[in-house]
Each structure stands twice: as structure tokens, then as C-alpha cells.
Amino acid sequence: MTVNLTMAVVLAGLYAVGFYLLMQRSLMRVILGIVILGHGANLFLQVAGGPPGEPVFAGTALIEAMVDPLPQALALTAIVITFALTTFLLALAYRSWALLGHDEVQDDVEDRRIREAERRREGMDESDEPDAEAAEAVAGFEAPEASEEVPR
């Protein structure tokens, strides 16, 4: 039992497209990447299960002709998990769109501060700054003093 070349190429394509979409900044692309990866996992489980065979009922078929039911059960579980994750991510994307007006994931303020500190260490001056808006956001961010009380 071997996987044919066509299925290997299709699986590689599904995983490549899924991971590419997963690395994007748009939440809808991330959701599409998760869905495509889920379909790739289901196809992989079905291909790994081997060719179709006789159902697994005691005494109705020869043992060599029976098919392993485990990959089918795993694929069914993967379908349910992918569906649940997709609905959760769709709810998050809708909330992001409703609150912000877009679904693009933004940089964290702490990430911007770290990036700015690394640029200063490397000796870049302000004229080399590729993102002026991010620099203004970092400059306007001030951490609370250690002696200040934080409201609860």
C-alpha cells in the first residue's frame, strides 16, 4: 500500500496554501488557511487509511479484505474540530470587523517598542524609519511608573 504521486502533490499543495494563508495578517485569510489545512488533514487521513475494502463486521468478510476503521474515525473527529475552530474564528473576525472596521491584525504596542529599541541599537536614525506612524505610536506610549498605584 503506497500513496500515489497525485495525492502526494495534492496534499503538499493543500498544506502549502494553508500555511501560506495562515501567515497572513487578515483574519479571513487565516480562517481560510485553517479550513484548507483541515481539509488537507482529512484527505491525508483518508489516503493513509488505504483503498476501500469490506466493512468490519465479524464473520462477514475475510480479514485481508477488511478496511481499518480508525482513519475514518479520526477524519470524522478532525471534521468536527475544524468546524468548531472555524466558527470560533469567524466570531472573532466578525467582532474585530465590528469594533475596528477591518479584520487586519495589528502590531502590539510592546512589539513596536521592542522593534524601535532594536533599531536604536543598530544605529538607524529617524530618516531610515520605514513606518513613521508606528514610531509616533511608540513615542506616545509611556509605561506607568513603578511607584504609581494601578486602579483596580
The DSSP secondary-structure symbol of 54 reads B
Q: How far is CA 24 from CA 27, 28, 103, 109, 150, in A?
A: 8, 9, 11, 19, 36
- Report the alpha-carbon angle 14-16-20, nearest 5: 115
Model pLDDT for residues 17-67, shown as the tens digit of each residue: 999 999 988 889 999 999 999 999 999 988 888 777 777 666 677 777 777
| 3-state SS, residue 114 | helix
Under the banding of pLDDT at 50, 70 and 90, the label for residue 71 is confident
pLDDT value, residue 107 = 75
Share of the chain above pLDDT 70, in %: 76
CA dist., res. 49 & res. 56, Å (int): 14
* CB hemisphere CA count around 31 (13 angstroms): 18
Answer whether 43's CB lies under 8 Å from 11's CB: yes
CA dist., res. 89 & res. 98, Å (int): 14
pTM over 0.85: no
Answer whether 54's CB lies under 8 Å from 60's CB: yes
| 3-state SS, residue 147 | coil
